[in-house]
Structure 1
């Protein structure tokens, strides 16, 4: 990294973003995938109904929805670096606690309670990590690395939905009960996360601009002024509509994708095993998603978000048709299923980079840490509410009609995309940078 490209406030010789951006966003993605995806598969293995799984795990989105309520505290108190490291240790401890609850008499309720606490720690970590990213990198670096951060966030998904789902299936195949299998998985996760926290304690840079507010500014008035500044942004109604509805189809599809793959044929599913899901969806699909994220970030850095927006949006929504085709055709070939999932995930990876860069645009200003957190809170609300009813809807419609509805649900997302305004060349790396 050349001194001319150092972030504001960084010293010459500062660590390259490659030393910490990948691991930081891997650490951000892992607890989220545990709470929102691994828990779905775990409860499915423990024979909880689709309706209960979708309803109760969707409630786990709530900490990400309401995290803007305490995001100004992260901006006011302590450094973002300190928040990141402390919360990573807390998440590691929570993962160990999940493992301890699984053999208990009320395992479903107890594990949900711990996952709820872990979700609060993870949501708070997101605030600090995103704020650190915005402070430690220049604007063109943020655009160039938006694909990298999205990619390694998805690498966490590969490790979770791929390797860890496969591990649970392997332990079960060797004779362990599902409870013991998932205890082993959570124990592995806890150890890995504590190692990540130790690495970041050593390796995260210390940008000069990463500083708490002066003590004379830490008052309730400052807290509310930070909030008020966000809600005075121009075009706020369109912004909120876009944040809430861009992922409206995905919010419903995500909750039922793995149950669809795992359910037997007589229930309309594809009757895959945990190991097959780990390979097809959690590995092949997420590698494709990772490549899509990298390509999306590169495209935005080359042509800017405005020119890239519509191609990326269409790439995100159109491939959802593969689930509808599979629901009718019930392909018996794991290769065919893996290829279909790869197409869908590659498109999603492309489209999600546009969403991330739009949130960077909205957060621009003096309080970008808190304002970016507010954006992600609305993003989480847009995922939480549709996810809550998706299990009930699928139970009543069946998988083919449910996936047809997901395609219809792209209309609000496309409508809001048509309304947003992007500055010319925003996100593009200028030749003078």
Structure 2
């Protein structure tokens, strides 16, 4: 079991690096260079390969082996980092955007392969809870490493050396996966069972969607994930930009939001795995979502404070830490719910998990806001995201009521 957790945790660690680069490092880097919130919001287009993940998920699940796909994608990520190291974001912004787009495409393929491996490797409720904890903690640790640690030193180390370091990390992981014995059992299972229906499902991916929607609990889970992630990711993205404009430097923000707050997120994810062995997922999520809504209301109230002060910094760090802690806890519970749902169907429907990774928050403030109304440009989108987050609480209460079919069925 320990070998499985190390294997999955390491793969999710390197998978979280592109997300950390684009969700934490890139927005702060561009904002510090004077780019508008609208232009920063448009960088979310680089996440588009995750939207298309459902198209190639059947191909990855049915053709080749998990080891082959993992080695190929991780090696490809190393090569894209080498390419990005040779570019300067100030002089070659489109080239850098192209490499980041390629990183997202490769990471989305890697996600399909590692999720498929996890479905085959993890057995029983206890393994699922620990496995999903390794998944979330590994992914967030990679995000912290890229979005917090690298942001804190990018002014000293520089863009090129930073991506050279990432290239060496990816090459090392590719060698580890190539010789990992933990894939042997999964490989035998995939060779015996994973070849059925290659022609039909790989060529007609919409059949996968029909199979996915026929699995008990799947439609409810999709609605919940879309509603929650839109509100959660929007709030997580916008509030740090408000702090950068009014209360913190880029280095301070990289430390408090990219390292400390994400550390709380990892603690929340770890706690989620432990709580799953004591309580039901439904009751846990309902309670945690109420706390998340209250903390979000507190964070929104801080948008009215524009004057820098030590007290405001303390309140901002407290808000970031609580939000990330609760977000990490909810993410582990959500991933476990989705894994249970996935194990009731074929591997190819694992593409459902893509929706937890797609940042559906590219709702940038309008360019027509005047500079003197900049505080309002933060309040409006954050109010929008807060509404979506609150809707998740209503949806959970509705789905868990006796009069309606539970989407946590069997969990």
Which deviations, in whole Å up to 9, do the C-alpha atoms of 1:216-255 show, x marking residues without a partner? 7431356534443113334654333212112221232233
Aligned to 1:328: 304
Aligned to 1:232: 214
Which runs of no fewer than 5 residues in structure 2 stay unpaired?
400-405
Counterpart CA distance in 1 for 2:194 and 2:409 is 36
Secondary structure of 1:219's aligned partner: helix
Aligned to 2:108: 123
Counterpart CA distance in 1 for 2:282 and 2:90 is 52
Which deviations, in whole Å up to 9, do the C-alpha atoms of 1:337-376 show, x marking residues without a partner? 33332112111111112221222133123413x2121x12
1:52 aligned onto 2:39:
yes
Alignment of 1:1-400 (within 5 A): 1=1, 16-55=3-42, 57-102=43-88, 105=91, 107-140=92-125, 141-171=127-157, 181-203=158-180, 205-210=182-187, 211-212=190-191, 217-220=197-200, 223-224=203-204, 225-234=207-216, 237-263=219-245, 269-270=246-247, 272-330=248-306, 332-333=309-310, 334-368=313-347, 370-373=348-351, 375-380=352-357, 383-384=359-360, 387-392=361-366, 395=369, 397-400=376-379
Which deviations, in whole Å up to 9, do the C-alpha atoms of 1:368-388 show, x marking residues without a partner? 3x2121x1233455x32xx22
Which deviations, in whole Å up to 9, do the C-alpha atoms of 1:165-197 show, x marking residues without a partner? 1011334xxxxxxxxx22332222222222222
Aligned to 1:175: none
Q: Which moved more, 1:33-42 or 1:348-357?
A: 33-42
Counterpart CA distance in 1 for 2:357 and 2:13 is 19
By how many angstroms is 1:302 displaced?
2.3
Counterpart CA distance in 2 for 1:152 and 1:367 is 25
The two structures, once aligned, show a CA RMSD in angstroms of: 2.6
Distance 1:340 1:226, change over 3 A: closer
Secondary structure of 2:364's aligned partner: helix
Secondary structure of 1:391's aligned partner: coil
Which deviations, in whole Å up to 9, do the C-alpha atoms of 1:110-162 show, x marking residues without a partner? 21122111110011101111111111111320122322321121111221222
Which deviations, in whole Å up to 9, do the C-alpha atoms of 1:85-117 show, x marking residues without a partner? 221111111122122232674x22221122111
Residues 247 and 413 in structure 1, CA contact (< 8 A), matched pair in contact too: no
Counterpart CA distance in 1 for 2:130 and 2:194 is 32
Distance 1:161 1:261, change over 3 A: farther
Residues 53 and 108 in structure 2, CA contact (< 8 A), matched pair in contact too: yes
Distance 1:380 1:293, change over 3 A: closer
Distance 1:327 1:299, change over 3 A: same
Q: Which moved more, 1:18-27 or 1:128-137?
A: 18-27
Aligned to 2:402: none
Which deviations, in whole Å up to 9, do the C-alpha atoms of 1:4-48 show, x marking residues without a partner? xxxxxxxxxxx6323323212111211222233322223223332
Residues 304 and 425 in structure 1, CA contact (< 8 A), matched pair in contact too: no
Distance 1:391 1:126, change over 3 A: farther
How many equivalent residue pairs? 391
Secondary structure of 2:82's aligned partner: helix
Distance 1:206 1:236, change over 3 A: closer
Q: Which moved more, 1:26-35 or 1:221-230?
A: 221-230
Counterpart CA distance in 1 for 2:213 and 2:325 is 34
Counterpart CA distance in 2 for 1:186 and 1:322 is 37
Counterpart CA distance in 2 for 1:342 and 1:188 is 28
Q: Which moved more, 1:63-72 or 1:96-105?
A: 96-105
TM-score for both structures, normalised by structure 1: 0.82
Counterpart CA distance in 2 for 1:329 and 1:156 is 32
Aligned to 1:406: 385
